[in-house]
């Protein structure tokens, strides 16, 4: 049985050269589907991982109760003080009260203005974020209308390079440095809290970021705040807060990838069927001759399916490889939960490529099966005469 | 003798195969009167099919003249030749060359698509032609539902439907058994005698040639009096 | 036209192959229709010229509220018929993920500016005279089965009442529809006076201003005039047409155009190859038949046209089916992207037609050229 299969398959593959044109249809058809699908999922993956990388388990973010996002949240200065007073097991905790303001900047690559987060932080904001570093210029001076810009924001928007002036509420702010945190904050602008509060006419803040004693200290801290009658707040681990934001985008891309994948997949399946029906019909006599000699119909079926799967896998590999070459590390940006732009890199990961190959395998199998069955069912005598 | 329909003068056809030049027809002169039925015989490579193609306007000669009726066709452009063929020549081939996807009637109708006839007129003429070849009841059949003899009848119907003066047949019975071949040849004979079609037929079968009014022998690109002479 | 049957029957000579190719084309154009529709929706007209309404927001961003005190100054600008202001309420109903669009507005000003909302006069009056009144768009009301007279607790994720409560008890006093069938009103308005008195912070903030112009030609001048008025103040403004303002909103989601073009590029490259292969193969098999047509008197040009027509019909039928399916599916997307009928509108169909023509030529020309060049004598002799 196995010998038969090998013999017939080898025969088929040897004649592949003569059918190069139509065989390429399978390869390219499936490469197209796998390439597009891998790229779409890589986009979703990249966004998820950027937000997933933002924040740590041993920091907590405190928002006004029911506000769910920093943008909607507002804490009065009394509230901020009450939060800052909440103690850990061994004393006071370091914390940074932060205010966000949405600003608008023109995109370098696309027309129109885009929302960018301006985050006003206390000096402690730097202390509790060891991942923060200045990559160019310097930090802003407290009390001065100075801004530092995240490296992704620098790359994406007009008028945010060092030395430029930004106008907020009738006042000029100078860009004095570029920073990197390696996460979604790289798409933000940062300024001094007190200065920004004055300029924007606010007394409260949007959130308070608290350095816990350890990741395990979260529950105690959260329940302490919950029991505090002076405040009505939501407390989340910083990492959970940011990870939770990728959900909507992931769902949207998931729907898009699903629709595109199903439609393109069907298109490629029809193309594969087309090629394999043609391949089988040009070899009707050959197949019938084999069967007349005594080869079983199973050998014929397996050999046709094997050919389709081999071509489909080749297409899958090409599609995944092209997608990796073109898109791995490609930077894009979209609207985050805070209603501002978050830059992220496409990530064409091995598991995505594997997923693409599995899809190729399934399409190849289905595309080969029906023609194979037709070939195997054809009565030998009819097939021989049909030459 | 009635008027001359086909007049060939110093007709030559040369093919180039790589460095070699092959002279298929050499300085050939030929006259065929209107209403004649000529069988062209000769060994393979003698140039009979080439001569037939030239007479039928499928190919241009390397040199020499062909006059059909009062028209020189040896210098016509491919477009003018196509229009001329549509009007004046009907073709019958050894392997029938019907369109496999069209019914007998639609096959016969093909040449009429090139005329200004209305759909109704086309339909009537197709019916007449099919009736003439005895296949009125097979109009709706596709070629693969017909026997070889029937297919050739459809091909003949297609050849005469536009009412050409000249029928050009290349081995019309080459793929048929004796009995069927005789039927086809009788049909051609009838078209010649009753409808006055001039027929030029290439054949290698002496029995087929007997149906013609006269037989011409071709050897090495020239007309000879007797085969092998 | 008399050749049409000939073209069709030639096309379906190999049924399996033609139908499978058409199905692939169907899928390609289905995707084309849907994605182009998204693209068109996201790139709708952006010119300020001819804008009948202007949105004025804080220059920093539309999320920063402009103060109420700008109202008289804006109202005084020549060319403005009526001005309203609206504050984003951040509304959700019962569950935080059931968000909805709701604004706090002055009812009388709303009625003057957004003229396409259709509401009985007594309901307009009820809205103006009921402190806790709310009017709801028909689509939204249907969604939650709200009726006039219902008491609806609407929660805000931004605005607490002075007692800290985030839930606002509102009375549905009217349900409005749109005179423009392209818009499905899926939003709600509540009374600004009540909202402003009760909210814990932010009092005196009007949100954004929307001005209706007497003459759309004034749009550019009025926008400039408003923005110049507040230049260098703490309340710098940015005015733009309502369409531009809305467009900016969706554009921020990402470079839709790039994603769509990339996917369609891959799809069309694949379909070009597939259909090209089918056509080439089909002509190759029919060389002798094409030669016979020429023998019968069909000119080179006619035979070439027949092959081209075949390519056009093949792609045309596939595209027609695909676009038809896309149009039907597009009806379901209207609520999401806006527009009327189907999001797969005439503009998308026009794009599809252009694609069909280009694709047909790319696919059909090589085999058509081959058919044209075909020598009868060679083809009949099997050379």
A294 touches chain C (CB under 8 A): no
Q: What is the mean pLDDT of chain C?
A: 86
**Contact residues, C window 20-79, toward A, CB-based 8 Å cutoff:** 20-21, 23-24, 26-28, 30-31, 34-35, 59-64
Q: What is each CA distance from C55 to A105, C75, C201, C211, C223, in whole angstroms?
A: 18, 13, 24, 7, 9
Residue A293: its pLDDT value, please? Answer: 75
Quick check: B83 and C299 CB within 8 A? yes
Per-residue pLDDT band for C67 (boundaries 50, 70, 90) equals very high
Q: Which domains does chain B have, with CATH numbers?
A: 34-60+77-223 (3.40.50.300)
Tokens of A195: 């200065």
Q: What is each CA distance from A331 to A46, B27, C373, in whole angstroms?
A: 9, 78, 50
CB-CB: which of A171, A200, A274 is closest to C21?
A274
Higher pLDDT, B220 or B192: B192
pLDDT tens track for B93-124: 888 888 888 899 999 998 898 888 888 999 99
Residue A150: its pLDDT value, please? Answer: 95
CB-CB: which of A101, A112, A270 is closest to C64?
A101
Establish whether chain A is in contact with chain B, requiring a minimum of 3 CB pairs below 8 angstroms. Answer: no
Residue C46, pLDDT above cutoff 50: no
Residue B66: its pLDDT value, please? Answer: 92
What is the Cα gyration radius of chain B?
Answer: 18
pLDDT tens track for B137-162: 999 999 989 998 999 999 999 999 98
CB pairs under 8 A between B and C: 66
Q: Which of C173-202 are b and which e, b meaning 16 or more Cβ less than 10 Å from the residue's Cβ?
A: bbbbbbeeeebbbbbbbbbbebbbebbbee
Per-residue pLDDT band for C1 (boundaries 50, 70, 90) equals low
How far apart (Å, rounded) are the C-alpha atoms in residues A366 and C20? 14
The enclosing H or E element of B137 equals none
- Greatest Cα pair distance in chain A: 95
Q: Which chain C residue is nearest to residue A337, measuring alpha carbons?
A: C253
Residue C188: its pLDDT value, please? Answer: 93
Q: What is each CA distance from C178 to A361, B145, C184, C311, C342, in whole angstroms?
A: 51, 65, 7, 46, 18
Residue A136: its pLDDT value, please? Answer: 94
What is the Cα gyration radius of chain A?
Answer: 30
* E-assigned strand segments in chain C: 53-58, 66-67, 80-88, 91-92, 101-105, 117-118, 133-137, 151-156, 167-178, 187-191, 205-213, 237-241
Residue C342: its pLDDT value, please? Answer: 67
The DSSP annotation for C110-134 comes to HHHH-TTEE--HHHHHHHHH-TTEE
Higher pLDDT, C231 or A149: A149
Residue B48: its pLDDT value, please? Answer: 87
Residue A375: its pLDDT value, please? Answer: 81
Quick check: C296 and B111 CB within 8 A? yes
Give the residue from B184, B164, B165 showing the smallest Cα distance to B174.
B184
A18 touches chain C (CB under 8 A): no
Q: Which chain A residue is nearest to residue C318, measuring alpha carbons?
A: A267
Residue C276, pLDDT above cutoff 70: yes
Per-run averaged pLDDT (10 residues), chain A, 387 residues = 73 68 84 91 89 89 86 88 84 90 85 87 93 95 94 92 89 94 92 93 90 90 88 90 82 86 91 85 76 77 87 94 90 78 88 93 92 81 59
Enumerate the residues of chain C whose CB falls inside 8 A of the CB of residue A31. Answer: 270
Interface test with B, best of C297, C300, C372, C379 (most B CBs within 10 A): C297
The DSSP code for B172 is: T
Q: Which chain C residue is nearest to residue A110, measuring alpha carbons?
A: C255
Q: Which chain C residue is nearest to residue A36, measuring alpha carbons?
A: C263
Residue C9, pLDDT above cutoff 90: no
Q: What's the gap in Å between the CA of C334 and the closest CA on chain A?
A: 16
Interface test with A, best of C17, C60, C284 (most A CBs within 10 A): C60
How far apart (Å, rounded) are the C-alpha atoms in residues B71 and A157? 79
Per-residue pLDDT band for C44 (boundaries 50, 70, 90) equals low
Chain length of chain C: 383
Q: What's the gap in Å between the CA of C125 and the closest CA on chain A?
A: 32
pLDDT tens track for B63-96: 999 999 888 998 888 888 888 998 899 999 888 8
Residue C338, pLDDT above cutoff 50: no
How far apart (Å, rounded) are the C-alpha atoms in residues C150 and C146? 7
Residues A47, A342 contacting (CB under 8 angstroms): yes
Quick check: A29 and C267 CB within 8 A? no
Residue A385: its pLDDT value, please? Answer: 60
Q: What is each CA distance from A99 to A311, A347, B217, C54, in whole angstroms?
A: 57, 31, 107, 30
Residue B228: its pLDDT value, please? Answer: 47
CB atoms within 10 A of CB A251: 11
Residue C339: its pLDDT value, please? Answer: 47
Enumerate the residues of chain C whose CB falls inside 8 A of the CB of residue A76. Answer: 201
CB-CB: which of B83, B100, B106 is closest to C13?
B100
Give the residue from A306, A278, A282, A315 showing the smallest Cα distance to A368.
A306
Per-residue pLDDT band for C341 (boundaries 50, 70, 90) equals low
Residue C335, pLDDT above cutoff 60: no
Q: Which chain B residue is nearest to residue C289, measuring alpha carbons?
A: B99
A107 touches chain C (CB under 8 A): no
Enumerate the residues of chain A whose CB falls inside 8 A of the CB of residue C263. Answer: 36, 40, 260
Subunits with at least 3 CB pairs below 8 A relative to chain C?
A, B
Contacts of A165 by beta carbon, 8 Å cutoff, 6+ apart: A172, A173, A174, A175
- Across residues C88-113, what is the average pLDDT? 90
Q: What is each CA distance from B87 to A179, B83, B162, B166, C331, in whole angstroms?
A: 85, 7, 7, 10, 55
Tokens of B34: 């209107």
pLDDT tens track for A207-265: 999 999 888 889 989 988 888 888 889 999 999 998 888 877 788 888 888 888 899 99
**Contact residues, A window 221-250, toward C, CB-based 8 Å cutoff:** 232
Quick check: C166 and A113 CB within 8 A? no
Q: In chain C, what percentage of residues exceed pLDDT 90?
A: 46
Quick check: B97 and C288 CB within 8 A? yes
Quick check: A39 and C262 CB within 8 A? yes
Residue C182, pLDDT above cutoff 70: no
pLDDT tens track for C118-174: 999 999 999 999 999 999 998 889 889 999 999 999 999 889 898 888 899 999 999
Confidence (pTM): 0.79
Quick check: B113 and C299 CB within 8 A? no
Coil, strand or helix: which one is A132?
Answer: coil
A354 torsion bin: left (phi>0), alpha (psi -120 to 50), beta (else): alpha
Enumerate the residues of chain C whose CB falls inside 8 A of the CB of residue B17. Answer: none
Enumerate the residues of chain C whose CB falls inside 8 A of the CB of residue B114. Answer: 296-298
Residues A190, A140 contacting (CB under 8 angstroms): yes
Residue A362: its pLDDT value, please? Answer: 94
Q: What's the gap in Å between the CA of B113 and the closest CA on chain C?
A: 7
C12 touches chain B (CB under 8 A): yes
Contacts of A22 by beta carbon, 8 Å cutoff, 6+ apart: A274, A275, A278, A279, C277, C281
Residue A384: its pLDDT value, please? Answer: 63
């Amino acid at each position: 049985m196995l010998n038969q299969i090998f013999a017939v398959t080898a025969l088929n593959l040897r004649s592949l050269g003569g059918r190069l044109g139509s065989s390429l249809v399978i390869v390219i058809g499936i490469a197209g589907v796998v390439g597009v699908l891998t790229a779409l999922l890589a986009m979703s993956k990249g966004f998820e991982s950027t937000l997933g990388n933002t924040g740590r388990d041993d920091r907590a973010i405190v928002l006004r109760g029911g506000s769910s996002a920093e943008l909607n949240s507002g804490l009065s200065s009394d509230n901020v003080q009450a939060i800052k007073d909440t103690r850990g097991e061994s004393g006071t905790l370091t914390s940074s009260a932060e205010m966000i303001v949405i600003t608008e900047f023109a995109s370098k690559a696309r027309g129109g203005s885009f929302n960018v987060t301006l985050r006003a932080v206390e000096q402690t904001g730097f202390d509790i974020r060891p991942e923060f570093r200045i990559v160019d210029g310097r930090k802003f001076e407290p009390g001065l209308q100075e801004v530092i810009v995240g490296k992704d924001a620098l790359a994406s928007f007009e008028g945010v390079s060092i030395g430029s002036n930004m106008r907020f509420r009738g006042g000029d702010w100078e860009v004095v440095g570029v920073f990197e945190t390696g996460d979604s904050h790289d798409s933000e602008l940062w300024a001094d809290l007190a200065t920004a509060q004055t300029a924007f006419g606010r007394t409260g803040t949007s959130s308070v970021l608290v350095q816990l004693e350890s990741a395990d200290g979260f529950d105690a801290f959260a329940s302490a705040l919950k029991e505090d009658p002076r405040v009505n707040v939501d407390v989340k681990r910083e990492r959970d807060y940011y990870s939770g934001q990728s959900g909507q985008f992931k769902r949207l891309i998931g729907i898009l990838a699903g629709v595109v994948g199903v439609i393109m997949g069907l298109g490629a399946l029809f193309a594969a069927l087309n090629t394999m029906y043609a391949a089988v019909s040009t070899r009707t006599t050959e197949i019938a001759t084999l069967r007349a000699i005594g080869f079983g119909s199973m050998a014929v079926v397996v050999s046709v399916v094997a050919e389709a799967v081999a071509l489909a896998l080749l297409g899958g590999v090409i599609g995944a490889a092209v997608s990796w070459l073109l898109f791995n590390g490609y930077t894009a940006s979209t609207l985050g939960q805070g209603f501002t732009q978050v830059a992220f890199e496409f990530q064409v990961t091995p598991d995505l490529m594997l997923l693409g190959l599995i899809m190729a395998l399934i399409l190849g199998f289905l595309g080969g099966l029906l023609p194979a069955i037709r070939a195997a069912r054809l009565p030998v005598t009819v097939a021989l005469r049909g030459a | 003798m009635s008027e001359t329909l086909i007049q060939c003068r110093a007709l030559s056809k040369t093919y180039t195969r790589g460095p070699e030049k092959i002279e298929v027809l050499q300085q050939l002169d030929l006259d065929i009167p209107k209403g004649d039925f000529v069988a062209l015989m000769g060994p393979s490579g003698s140039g009979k099919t080439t001569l037939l193609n030239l007479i039928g306007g499928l190919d241009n000669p390397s040199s020499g003249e062909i006059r059909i009726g009062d028209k020189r066709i040896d210098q016509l452009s491919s477009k003018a030749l196509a229009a001329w063929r549509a009007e004046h020549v009907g073709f019958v081939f050894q392997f029938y060359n019907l369109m496999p996807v069209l019914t007998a009637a639609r096959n016969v109708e093909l040449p009429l698509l090139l005329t200004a006839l209305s759909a109704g007129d086309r339909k009537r003429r197709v019916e007449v032609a099919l009736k003439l070849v005895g296949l009125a009841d097979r109009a709706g059949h596709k070629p693969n539902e017909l026997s070889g003899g029937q297919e050739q009848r459809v091909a003949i119907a297609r050849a005469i439907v536009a009412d050409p003066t000249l029928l050009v047949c290349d081995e019309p019975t080459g793929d048929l058994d004796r009995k069927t071949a005789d039927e086809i040849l009788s049909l051609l004979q009838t078209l010649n005698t009753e409808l006055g079609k001039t027929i030029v037929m290439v054949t290698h079968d002496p029995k087929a040639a007997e149906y013609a009014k006269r037989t011409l022998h071709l050897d090495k690109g020239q007309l000879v009096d007797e085969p092998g002479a | 036209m008399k050749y049409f049957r000939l073209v069709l029957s030639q096309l379906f000579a190999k049924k399996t192959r033609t139908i499978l190719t058409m199905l692939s084309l169907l899928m390609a154009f289905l995707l084309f229709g849907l994605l182009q529709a998204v693209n068109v929706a996201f790139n709708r007209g952006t010119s300020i010229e001819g804008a009948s309404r202007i949105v004025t927001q804080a220059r920093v961003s539309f999320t920063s509220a402009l103060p109420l005190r700008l109202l008289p100054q804006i109202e005084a600008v020549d060319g403005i018929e009526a001005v309203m202001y609206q504050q984003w309420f951040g509304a959700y109903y019962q569950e935080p993920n059931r968000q909805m669009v709701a604004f706090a507005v002055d009812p009388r000003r709303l009625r003057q500016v957004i003229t396409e909302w259709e509401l009985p006069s007594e309901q307009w009056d009820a809205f103006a005279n009921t402190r806790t009144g709310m009017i709801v768009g028909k689509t939204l009301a249907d969604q939650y089965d709200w009726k006039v007279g219902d008491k609806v607790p609407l929660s805000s994720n931004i605005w607490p009442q002075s007692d800290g409560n985030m839930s606002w008890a509102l009375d549905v006093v009217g349900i409005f529809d749109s005179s423009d069938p392209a818009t499905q009103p899926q939003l709600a308005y509540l009374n600004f006076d009540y909202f402003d008195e009760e909210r814990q912070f932010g009092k005196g903030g009007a949100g954004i201003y929307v001005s209706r112009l007497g003459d759309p030609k004034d749009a550019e001048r009025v926008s400039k005039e408003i923005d110049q008025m507040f230049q260098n103040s703490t309340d710098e403004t940015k005015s733009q047409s309502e369409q531009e303002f809305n467009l900016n909103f969706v554009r921020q989601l990402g470079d839709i155009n790039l994603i769509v073009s990339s996917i369609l590029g891959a799809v069309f490259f694949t379909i070009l190859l597939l259909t090209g292969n089918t056509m080439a193969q089909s002509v190759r098999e029919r060389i002798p038949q094409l030669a016979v047509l020429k023998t019968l008197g069909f000119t080179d040009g006619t035979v070439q046209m027949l092959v081209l027509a075949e390519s056009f019909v093949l792609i045309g039928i596939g595209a027609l089916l695909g676009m038809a399916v896309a149009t039907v599916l597009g009806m379901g997307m209207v609520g999401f992207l806006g527009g009327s009928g189907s999001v797969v509108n005439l503009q998308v169909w026009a794009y599809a037609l252009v694609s069909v023509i280009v694709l047909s030529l790319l696919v059909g020309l090589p085999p058509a050229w081959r058919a044209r060049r075909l020598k009868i004598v060679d083809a009949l002799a099997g050379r």
